[in-house]
Amino acid sequence: LETFKLNFEDISIPFVCGEKIFPTILPLLKKHIKSKIIIVTDDTVKNLHLNSVVSTFEKSWSYKVLSSPAGESYKTLSSLANYIDLALRWGADRFTIILALGGGIPGNVGGCLAGLLFRGVPFIHVPTTLISLADSVISLKQAVNSNVSKNTIGLYYTPKLIVGDISFLETLPNREIKSGICEFIKNTLAIAPHDLVWLKDSLLPNFRSSFSSVANVFLKKSIAAKEKVMISDKYEKKNAIILEYGHTVGHAIEMVDAKIKKNGNSISHGEAVGLGMLVAAQVSNQIGFLSEENLNLHFQLLLKFGCRTRLPQGVTVDAIIDLLFKDNKRGYLSAHKNEIPMILLKNLGEPVLESSYPLTCIPIPIVRHVLEKMLYKSSEFIHAIDS
């Protein structure tokens, strides 16, 4: 069992991590849990991992499980409102702990529930995806999606504790592993280029077969990258906006694809961010900032881990552009109505700054041109860098 501390300005969050740690952490949980527990999860995680969590404490405390099918379509205000009613009807009080068990979605919905119930009850994260373990729980941002755009209703809320049990990751499908890798690639390109050597030479594409041996390094590097910017910007509103590299276009692709494919086969969050990074890198290259070499590096890293470099079928450029106008980073800069603020790199680890924000207003036709190229020409490009 290893304990890290996440340090964001004046906030310090304990993060315990290890394999099959649930049976051993009861004394630690006892420090935080006074009365009852509400577990927020999704149906997939509930079937796979709920038992190993509740068997630790079912003799000590009463608990209630709030669960929905997995997916972005349940990361909504109506799911959250339903959970609030269910929690109150069950008898939740000011000391009831909210424990979010799952990926970024139960984490975000659980975080909103904890922040809103009685104006704030204690909150524990138990991440079960690579993205949640190494990215979303290392943040104070909690949000659900509105009917219009992603992550637009929420609050900042600090968990009391994060419990990372690496053994939960063993049941993850490859798609979700790739999703976590994409966020890691993002952090490396945008914040921590010194991790490139490890990412290129040491992290093997089939690393999940020996996940326990790399998980610790993966997690430490992820925490270091996020802390580097959040140590002075806990709310991710200034220099830490860089963590959203690839997310402007990525979120739009994710939302459009989720609307088209309702059966759970839509693009993962990480892969959408990967595509968003490719768009940002090409835009930056086109307007004269990012070198050809660093642009190619974006493609090479995503291809190394088998991640997408083309838009999912059915996702149109028009639908993406439509959503770009509703991106949650609008407002930091006074963008013209035909421009969107994007995070661009001029070099690895070095964003282009405008009014001291890592954002640049980009005319829509430039983004449209790049997106159209990715629809129709990216296979030629892949061929070019493969050969």
Ligand X SMILES: NC(=O)c1ccc[n+]([C@@H]2O[C@H](COP(=O)([O-])OP(=O)(O)OC[C@H]3O[C@@H](n4cnc5c(N)ncnc54)[C@H](O)[C@@H]3O)[C@@H](O)[C@H]2O)c1
Catalytic (active-site) positions: 141, 244
Stretch that binds ligand X, among 117-125, 133-141, 199-207, 362-370 (CB under 6 A): 133-141
Tell me the closest approach of the beta carbon of residue 284 to ligand X, in angstroms.
Answer: 22
Stretch that binds ligand X, among 70-78, 113-121, 226-234, 356-364 (CB under 6 A): 70-78
42 binds ligand X (CB under 6 A): yes
Candidate list 96, 149, 151, 282; residue touching ligand X; CB under 6 A: 151
Give the residue among 259, 283, 286, 256 at the shortest CA–CA distance from 272. Answer: 256
DSSP string of 303-336, one letter each residue: HHTT---SPPTT--HHHHHHHHTT-TTTTSS---
Instruction: Pick between residue 239 and residue 268 the one whose CB is nearest to ligand X.
Output: 268
132 binds ligand X (CB under 6 A): yes
Site for ligand X in 155-174 (CB under 6 A): 168-169, 171-172
What distance in Å separates the CA atoms of residue 98 and residue 87, rounded to the nearest whole number?
10
Tell me the closest approach of the beta carbon of residue 204 to ligand X, in angstroms.
Answer: 21
What distance in Å separates the CA atoms of residue 331 and residue 153, rounded to the nearest whole number?
16
Triad 326, 147, 308: Cα angle to 5°: 65
Site string for ligand X, 81-120 (x = CB under 6 A): ---------------------xxxxx-x------------
Instruction: Pick between residue 42 and residue 339 the one whose CB is nearest to ligand X.
Output: 42
Which single residue brings its beta carbon nearest to ligand X? 104
Stretch that binds ligand X, among 6-14, 115-123, 128-136, 224-232 (CB under 6 A): 128-136
The maximal CA–CA distance of the chain, rounded, in angstroms, is 63
CA distance readout (Å), 63 to 6, 57, 112, 251: 28, 9, 19, 34
Triad 7, 13, 17: Cα angle to 5°: 110
Candidate list 6, 45, 249, 297; residue touching ligand X; CB under 6 A: 45
Candidate list 68, 129, 239, 282; residue touching ligand X; CB under 6 A: 129
339 binds ligand X (CB under 6 A): no
Cβ–Cβ under 8 Å, residues 357 and 334: no
Beta-strand (E) ranges in 133-281?
A: 141-144, 153-156, 161-165
Instruction: Pick between residue 139 and residue 248 the one whose CB is nearest to ligand X.
Output: 139
Number of residues that bind ligand X (CB under 6 A): 30
Tell me the closest approach of the beta carbon of residue 156 to ligand X, in angstroms.
Answer: 10
61 DSSP 8-state letter: S
357 DSSP 8-state letter: B
CA distance readout (Å), 268 to 105, 255, 309, 312: 12, 10, 13, 11
Residues that bind ligand X (CB under 6 A): 42, 44-45, 48, 70, 72, 75, 102-106, 108, 128-129, 131-132, 135-136, 139, 141, 151, 168-169, 171-172, 176, 179, 268-269
